[in-house]
Structure 1
Amino acid sequence: MSDSMEASKKQQPGLLEWLSHSQGHLVLHLLSVLLLAGLLVAVLVQGFKGPSSSGYETIHKQLLQLKGEMESICRPCPWEWTFFRGKCYFFSKSQRNWNDSITACQEVEAQLVIIESDEEQTFLSVISKEKGPAWLGLSDLREEGSWQWVDDSLLADSFSKYWYQGEPNNMGNEDCAEISSTGWNDNTCSLEKFWICKKAASPCSR
């Protein structure tokens, strides 16, 4: 069996896990919509009966009950974040330069993404195919040719295989790394691009 086939088998569990959790989030959204629809029907029925203090009290109790049910739904990541292998990922809908992308992640108690495994690289490349190129938390701003993540750790040699062929080439003072569906590229840090934030998942994040 070739190395590529073995790598594909190793990557499949991670992608299946991500797809499973994505379906889970969809179910939670549908459940929320159904609960709100049910409450709306209850309000309309009560309204047709005419205003009364007991009717308003019933609606108020239903609202409190719905709020409790919504808060009891346990999810590992905030809404609009994606869960993968114990981490939460946010894929921006707007674009910023590299430094501002770091700030944007810090504002939501996260970090511009650091890739720690081949499975994570595969997961992010699949997302990037849909979203487009995005900033990684990787640069050689401190020392040309010495690539470091935003947590000051050095880029491991085992990840060098993810650079495009001939990259990084520092053409035009390119010191920040971006990811796309086909690999990594060094680019000018002042350019505005999408970005990816990452933070640890929690048992019941709201």
Structure 2
Amino acid sequence: MSDSKEMGKQQLGPLGHLGLGHVPLALQVFFLIVFSVLLLVIVVKVFKIPSSPGQEQSSQEKVYQELTQLKAGVDRLCRPCPWDWTLFQESCYFFSVAQKTWNDSATACQNVGAQLVVIKSDEEQKFLQQTSKKRGYTWMGLIDLHKESTWHWVDGSPLTLSFMKYWNEGEPNNLGEEDCAEFRGEGWNDTKCDNQKFWICKKPKTSCPGE
């Protein structure tokens, strides 16, 4: 299937967002400083505990309560996904706002410890298809570059028969060496890998305290 006119590249960050990548790090540094100051204050209080047994027990209980409250506050800072990623089930997804070739999209995902999205379930497929339909033609981590008509994911796993139903009618047709798969409309399409598309990165969510 031939592509309509592709949009030009936007001058955005390496993952295709408007320079928000530094926000989480800045917040983490800020909260680390606050945590350190509060911890220092609590330690100072501990060393100033009176020698009287009754007062000592009361002061220790107060310090314990303060530490418990502080830990609860720090735990709330934990996020399963980075600020500009979306959580779905047990994974985090980054939906780009810029467009790149398939290879450049795969590299952009690798640079942040992720992969161009590999679909593992029908529920995940439905979620990604609906989101991509709203945004435009979008790369996934599926190719047949090594052997024509033998499709496999970027993690090395083969495309199973249960997922073949997601190809659009008449696809894949390899019209003009189309070796990379994209989300298009209601399903999947094979297209030329050097076309410019949006892309989706995927990586496991982070486990937070108490989970």
Q: State TM-score, norm by structure 2.
A: 0.63
Matched, 1:76 2:80: yes
Matched, 1:116 2:116: no
2:173 is aligned to: 169
SS at match of 1:138: strand
Aligned-pair CA distance for 1:111: 0.4
User: Any conservation in 2 of the 1:127–1:181 contact (CA below 8 Å)?
Assistant: no
User: Any conservation in 2 of the 1:112–1:137 contact (CA below 8 Å)?
Assistant: yes
Matched, 1:201 2:178: no
Aligned with 1:96 (options 100, 108, 128):
100
How big is the alpha-carbon RMSD for the aligned residues of Structure 1 and Structure 2? 2.6
Query: Based on CA coordinates, which of the two structures has the bigger radius of gyration?
Result: 2
Aligned-pair CA distance for 1:126: 1.5
1:139 is aligned to: 143
SS at match of 1:191: coil
Does the C-alpha gap of structure 1 residues 82 and 61 become closer, same or farther in structure 2, counting only changes over 3 Å?
A: closer
Aligned-pair CA distance for 1:132: 1.4
How many residue pairs were aligned? 147
SS at match of 1:109: coil
Report the AA paired with residue 113 of structure 2.
Answer: E
Aligned-pair CA distance for 1:129: 2.1
Among the aligned pairs, what percent are the same residue?
56
* Aligned mates of 2:117, 2:141 — CA distance in 1: 5
Aligned-pair CA distance for 1:74: 2.3
Does the C-alpha gap of structure 1 residues 193 and 70 become closer, same or farther in structure 2, counting only changes over 3 Å?
A: farther
Q: Which structure's residues are more often helix, by fraction? A: 1
Does the C-alpha gap of structure 1 residues 61 and 162 become closer, same or farther in structure 2, counting only changes over 3 Å?
A: closer
Report the AA paired with residue 74 of structure 1.
Answer: C
Q: Which runs of 5+ in 2 are unaligned?
A: 1-26, 28-32, 39-70
Does the C-alpha gap of structure 1 residues 151 and 61 become closer, same or farther in structure 2, counting only changes over 3 Å?
A: closer
Q: Which runs of 5+ in 1 are unaligned?
A: 1-31, 33-59
Aligned runs of 1:143-158 on 2, under 5 Å? 143-158=147-162
* Aligned mates of 2:89, 2:34 — CA distance in 1: 38
SS at match of 2:139: strand
